[in-house]
Chain A
């Protein structure tokens, strides 16, 4: 069993992760192809014919100056949105969530144990952080995670919109870190914990594209879609 979950299953998990992200992207793009508004009944149909290759599209001239002006405006707008967004209203929450998300990526990617496994499997690996550091960072990650859990349990507003699904997703996100931490410290039965860790890690990768954890991908789409000032780009993307 160990051979399977630490061998083929890892590839299956990664394949599901990437294929799932690609599939969800395509699904989103396919669904967005359809025009949302139908032509009003009685509108002359002849107009459609004109839309040949020759249709003159008014394009902005992308001179260098225009590009700079655009980038400048974007920068100012992003700064403004930082001030008026959660950074300005929920400093504590913003701190925890930024830390949480950075560690979520940094710790497993630059973890010595993972990179050793990667080198064994592929012959190449990424640089690793010292183990004492990643261990401490894992602890910090868990603190952030428990901050979220307690918030969900005890803040009236958060509880009002939380259901079993939200706790399940919390668990799926946290379990790889919790079991990794326990394995590193050899708490309980090391062999068992390590197996749980590997399965938990694979589970997390597999479910990301298909659950609310998919916000990792869709975050970017939505930010292009929204029309208000906290959007990316012009916020008028029609896909």
Chain B
């Protein structure tokens, strides 16, 4: 039986969600100056030898940013790749500071909602076994 197979991603629904918060999300994405000043304020970035992957702006650009750029036309594999960024690489502690005022945790939380709308979310039975750092 193929009942295990995941349903196809509903791009139109993702698009609708993206449009709903276009004002705050898309505008903020386009006004991120790519200056990395937010990096130092994220403890996960510091805990990973300043690995760029853990910079707040990197996490947003490579999750929500890509969703907007592709206008929601993504597949499940793509959402799975985002899953790691928005759940594992950010704990939504809201400590990041951006001089332009870009609300990184708000955007990461929104990317999580979009993943969840398509049934993509951490499976706490399996994922919780891994180290969070």
Chain B residues, CB < 8 A from A97: 99
Q: Which of A185-239 contact B (CB under 8 A)?
A: 211-212, 214-215, 218-219, 221-223, 225-228, 230-231
Q: Is the CB of B22 within 8 A of A31?
A: yes
Q: Which of B73-108 contact A (CB under 8 A)?
A: 94, 97, 99-103, 106
Interface presence of B114 (CB below 8 A): no
Interface presence of B20 (CB below 8 A): yes
- Taking chain A's interface residues, is the majority helix, strand, or loop, or is none over half, making it mixed? helix
Interface presence of B21 (CB below 8 A): yes
Interface presence of B30 (CB below 8 A): yes
Q: Is the CB of B33 within 8 A of A86?
A: no
Q: Which of A23-65 contact B (CB under 8 A)?
A: 28, 31-32, 34, 36
Q: Is the CB of A161 within 8 A of B52?
A: yes
Known A36-B20, A157-B39, A158-B36; contact A218-B31, beta-carbon cutoff 8 A = yes
Known A166-B34, A215-B31; contact A157-B50, beta-carbon cutoff 8 A = yes
* Size range of the chain B interface in the assembly: 20 to 34
Distance from A158 Cβ to chain B, minimum over Cβ atoms (Å): 5
Q: Is the CB of A212 within 8 A of B32?
A: yes
Q: Is the CB of A161 within 8 A of B36?
A: yes
Q: Which of B23-69 contact A (CB under 8 A)?
A: 23-24, 27-28, 30-37, 39-41, 50, 52-53, 55, 57-58, 61
Q: Is the CB of B41 within 8 A of A89?
A: yes
Distance from A144 Cβ to chain B, minimum over Cβ atoms (Å): 13
Q: Scan A129-160; emit 1 where CB is below 8 A from any B CB, else 0.
A: 00000000000000000000000100111111
Q: Is the CB of A161 within 8 A of B61?
A: yes
List 30 interface pairs A-B (beta carbons < 8 Å), by A numbering.
A31-B22, A32-B24, A36-B20, A36-B21, A89-B40, A89-B41, A97-B99, A152-B34, A155-B36, A158-B35, A160-B52, A160-B53, A160-B58, A161-B36, A161-B55, A161-B61, A212-B32, A212-B33, A215-B31, A218-B100, A219-B101, A221-B101, A222-B102, A225-B24, A225-B103, A226-B103, A226-B106, A228-B94, A230-B97, A230-B101
Residues of A within 8 A of B (CB): 28, 31-32, 34, 36, 84-86, 89-90, 93, 97, 152, 155-162, 166, 211-212, 214-215, 218-219, 221-223, 225-228, 230-231
